[in-house]
Amino acid sequence: MSNDQVSLTDSADENPARGNWSQKRHFVLSTLGYAVGLGNVWKFPYLAYSNGGGAFLVPYAFMLFFAGMPIFFFEVCLGQYSSQGPITVWRASPMFRGIGFGMVIVSAFVGVYYNVIICYAIYYMFASFTLNLPWEHCDHDFNTVNCFLKYEQCLSQPGKIMIETTCQNITELNMTNSELGEINVVYANGTWNTSNYIDTYADYRKRPTEEYWKHVVLQKFVSMNETGGLIWELVLCLFLAWVLVFFSLVKGVKSLGKVVYFTALFPYAVLLALFVRGVTLDGAGDGIDFFIKPKWEDITTPQVWLKAATQIFFSLSAASGGLVTLSSYNRFHNNGYFDSVFVSIANCATSVFAGFAIFSVLGHIAKEQGKAVPDVVESGFGLAFVVYPEGLSLLPGSTFWAIIFFLMLITLGIDSQMVIIESVVTAICDSFPLQKKKSLVTFVVCLIGFVLGLICVTRAGAYWISMIDSYVPSIGLIMFGLLELITISWVYGIKRFTNDIRSMLGDSCFYKFPMFFWWQLNWTVITPSLLLFVLLYNLMNWSEPTYNHEVHPEWAHVTGWFIIGLTLIFIPLVMIYEFINASGSFSERWRTISRPTANWGPAVQANRTQAWNMHTYYNTTMGGKQYLLT
């Protein structure tokens, strides 16, 4: 079979009604920017930190090759073949259109709290425009008596030690030599020796970066039961974040394709600088050892495998509709095979690289405080806003590097957020005749996202982000990944889907890359089985999520399960709706709603004809039931 492509200039749209990427690299950079986001430098390090360090890398790598990459390639092919968004792509099997609705709802919820993380980065960037970074010292009003630098400053003075939170002269203490000996303070050669001083209050010491995060940025309340009012500085930063997203998307993929040149590549330069500085710090090796050496006993913990699977889905942005959306703007014959493998590996390599940068700084902090690496800071999602600022304060010209770093975080976040929102907008515009009003739809979606995000910029906002993040991606993404694989592989048909891919990539993809059959095995058996096992095992051993070891109130857990139910309820509802609206007997209705609709297939007629010929050729020469596109 020939693989003749439609003759078009590089800039002309193959699909004028919907539009295409102007150039192939726009898709690759957009997909890379979508996959490589805050999850790599924000979420991956804190998940590794709270799940055994190196122990987390083992299930993470396993999930990458047996779940992440197969679904990534699967969704790219699905979107590229149909030129449809995450809802209308289910013309392939309309009874499962509810999967698309669920994906869009998950994307919408993730988009609400994801932009709040971006607003934190905006806040820090503006706060960095000072001669001395506000989290470098312990002499600010927000600092407490437990600030670690106060302890260091006290011990640096001859003849002084810190008794709990008070700096005192040793000679003025009403303590016997025996009592002083118990804390390793000895008088020798005419001076007091405090080199082996034991800080009995060490567990309460806090880094100034941690106090800045809690007391200035979050202004954290003691529980989730009270919102404590809006933090207006964060409200303004959140508004700015949504403005940036809107103007980046106002012209659809055309503007997105230009923005990603900067947003996708700039972060690597900054991460490299932070990594080089981090590995040269005293104690960096201890942090890196914790990061790469597995604690094998943690690997048997089911939650670690659930977190690894969730992070792969979250990091690769799989099963949330974004990959289907981005690939739906590809030209029909784009080599999505190469794109998928390249982006998947580059994304996870970035996560590990960011892990080296952050754990080298953690090792340095642990060395200074005399603690084990896991005991340095609390392991909440704010870890990146504690450890990275610490590392920045150690760089020469720290103000400059802080501005650059948080600008990098903003670009990373905006890159992913643009695709999240584009997925929601594309789903709406594909489902309704709103393509000509896409800018208005984008504005409305951004406005609603801003309003819903206000709960996350209250003084209890950190609890809300933790709650949504614990429930929505963890169960929803795995569930939808499982369902879409089963639907396409077993209902739509793996042979039919294989021929769809052949019509796009040509026979050379199959004959030159024998590993292609490995993907088929994953799509039909390995990946669904793995996802089902992880999902069921963790539901049977479910433990309610916490934030920094603080248990959420019962109503928060009810809210989390309600959101999960909201994303899943559309699956049975759509099935019932499609069945009622079909005609014929029970078996005829079931057959109708499970098979592709008449308008399923490539959007451009020339490509539909080629796909029709491909299916006819393979069905007649290799056997099997004929499948013809109308």
The tens digit of pLDDT for each residue in 193-223 reads: 666 677 777 777 888 898 999 999 999 877 7
* Tokens standing for residue 538: 């963790």
Is residue 115 domain-shared with residue 166, that is, in the same domain? Answer: no
Domain assignment present for residue 231? The answer is: yes
Domain assignment present for residue 498? The answer is: yes
* Tokens standing for residue 535: 């999902």
Cβ 468 vs Cβ 300: under 8 Å = no
The pLDDT of 239-256, averaged and rounded, is: 81
The pLDDT of 413-421, averaged and rounded, is: 86
* Residue recorded with tokens 């979250």: 314
Distances (CA, A) of 69 to 174, 264, 322, 355, 383: 66, 20, 15, 21, 27
Domain assignment present for residue 235? The answer is: yes
Q: Among 97, 18, 99, which Cα is nearest to 332's?
A: 18
Ranking 128-137, 257-266, 378-387, 621-630 by mean pLDDT, the lowest is 621-630
Is residue 130 domain-shared with residue 160, that is, in the same domain? Answer: no
Domain that holds residue 30: 24-134+209-577
**Over 80: is that where the pLDDT of 435 sits?**
no
Decide which of 295 and 247 is more confident.
247
Is residue 508 domain-shared with residue 490, that is, in the same domain? Answer: yes
Cβ 429 vs Cβ 312: under 8 Å = no
560-563: long-range pairs with CB below 8 Å, 24+: 560/467, 560/468, 560/470, 560/471, 560/472, 561/471, 563/109, 563/468, 563/471, 563/472
Is residue 341 domain-shared with residue 424, that is, in the same domain? Answer: yes
Cβ 83 vs Cβ 586: under 8 Å = no
Is residue 325 domain-shared with residue 385, that is, in the same domain? Answer: yes
Is residue 214 domain-shared with residue 342, that is, in the same domain? Answer: yes
- Among 205, 225, 253, where does a domain finish? 205
C-alpha dihedral sign at 286, 290, 293, 297: positive
* Tokens standing for residue 170: 């040793």
| Predicted confidence band of residue 4 (pLDDT cuts 50, 70, 90) | very low
Domain assignment present for residue 413? The answer is: yes
Domain assignment present for residue 139? The answer is: no
Is residue 440 domain-shared with residue 557, that is, in the same domain? Answer: yes
Chain centroid offset of residue 327 CA: 19
**CATH number for position 234:** 1.10.4160
Decide which of 360 and 509 is more confident.
360
Domain assignment present for residue 590? The answer is: no
How far is it, in rounded angstroms, from Cα 480 to Cα 198? 53
Cβ 457 vs Cβ 449: under 8 Å = no
Is residue 197 domain-shared with residue 128, that is, in the same domain? Answer: no
**Over 90: is that where the pLDDT of 90 sits?**
yes
Q: Among 551, 470, 539, which Cα is nearest to 302's?
A: 539
Domain assignment present for residue 103? The answer is: yes
How far is it, in rounded angstroms, from Cα 402 to Cα 249? 27
**Over 60: is that where the pLDDT of 620 sits?**
no
The pLDDT of 51-64, averaged and rounded, is: 85
Is residue 360 domain-shared with residue 288, that is, in the same domain? Answer: yes
Residue 615, pLDDT score: 67
398 C-beta neighbours (distance < 10 Å), count = 18
Report the number of distinct structural domains present in the chain. 2
Is residue 321 domain-shared with residue 185, that is, in the same domain? Answer: no
How far is it, in rounded angstroms, from Cα 220 to Cα 300? 34
Is residue 64 domain-shared with residue 189, that is, in the same domain? Answer: no
Domain assignment present for residue 599? The answer is: no
Q: For residue 551, how many C-alpha atoms fall within 13 Å in the half-sphere facing its CB?
A: 5
Residue 94, pLDDT score: 94
Is residue 243 domain-shared with residue 334, that is, in the same domain? Answer: yes
Dmax (CA) for the chain in angstroms is 102
The pLDDT of 89-112, averaged and rounded, is: 93
How far is it, in rounded angstroms, from Cα 287 to Cα 358? 8
| Predicted confidence band of residue 133 (pLDDT cuts 50, 70, 90) | very high
